[in-house]
């Protein structure tokens, strides 16, 4: 699949940078002329992925979060959020609704939300090496809406 445009961003795992990531990806997605609903789904999914990296990957220290957004042919937005944090022991368990390692103030719905708002979600992780989340969403051309 041909890449039509791409951007990369690295930032510290501070919660304030979640808004930066959401904004950067929404600006990239705007090139596809999404509906407000599509844009909201994308922004929410990016927020969840980045928040997971901030809260779970680096629970006791600052680390770096790597964000990449690509526009692929066919109106597809691909977003990758990667960290080099503590990793996930069991990815399937972590993807289950209501599962969390973040204490009772966390809902455990991050991966569930990403999966429901995006067309495709892939999660790769290794304990002690970090996690990579890849999400894709196809934005329908206006003529077909």
Question: Looking at residue 91, what is its pLDDT?
Answer: 72
Cβ-based neighbours of 108, under 8 Å, separated by 6 or more: 96, 97, 98, 99, 100, 102
Which residue did the predictor score with more confidence, 2 or 109?
Answer: 2
Nearest to 25 by CA among 48, 53, 2: 48
Using one digit for the tens of pLDDT, what is the confidence trace for 72-87?
999 999 999 999 999 9
Q: What confidence score (pLDDT) does residue 108 get? A: 57
Q: What angle do helix axes 36-52 and 110-117 make, rounded to 10 degrees? A: 150
Measured between alpha carbons, how far is residue 45 from residues 104, 106, 136, 144 in Å?
Answer: 21, 16, 10, 24
Catalytic residues: 48, 52, 106
DSSP-based three-state secondary structure for 4: strand
Would you say residue 24 has pLDDT above 70? yes
Q: How confident is the model over 19-42, as a mean pLDDT? A: 96
Query: Which residue has tokens 């039509």?
Result: 4
- The pLDDT value recorded for residue 110 is 79
Tokens of 88: 């996930």
């Amino acid at each position: 699949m041909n890449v039509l445009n791409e951007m990369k961003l690295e930032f510290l795992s501070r919660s304030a940078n979640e808004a930066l990531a959401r904004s950067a990806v929404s600006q990239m997605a705007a090139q596809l002329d999404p509906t407000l609903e599509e844009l909201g789904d994308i922004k929410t999914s990016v927020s969840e992925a980045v928040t997971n990296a901030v809260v779970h990957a680096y629970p006791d220290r600052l680390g770096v979060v790597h964000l990449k957004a690509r526009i692929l042919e066919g109106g597809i937005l691909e977003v990758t959020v990667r960290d080099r944090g503590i990793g996930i022991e069991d990815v399937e368990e972590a993807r289950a609704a209501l599962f969390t390692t973040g204490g009772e103030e966390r809902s455990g719905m991050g991966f569930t939300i990403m999966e429901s708002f995006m067309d495709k979600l892939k999660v790769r992780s290794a304990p002690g090496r970090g996690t990579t989340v890849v999400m894709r969403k196809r934005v329908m051309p206006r003529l077909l809406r």
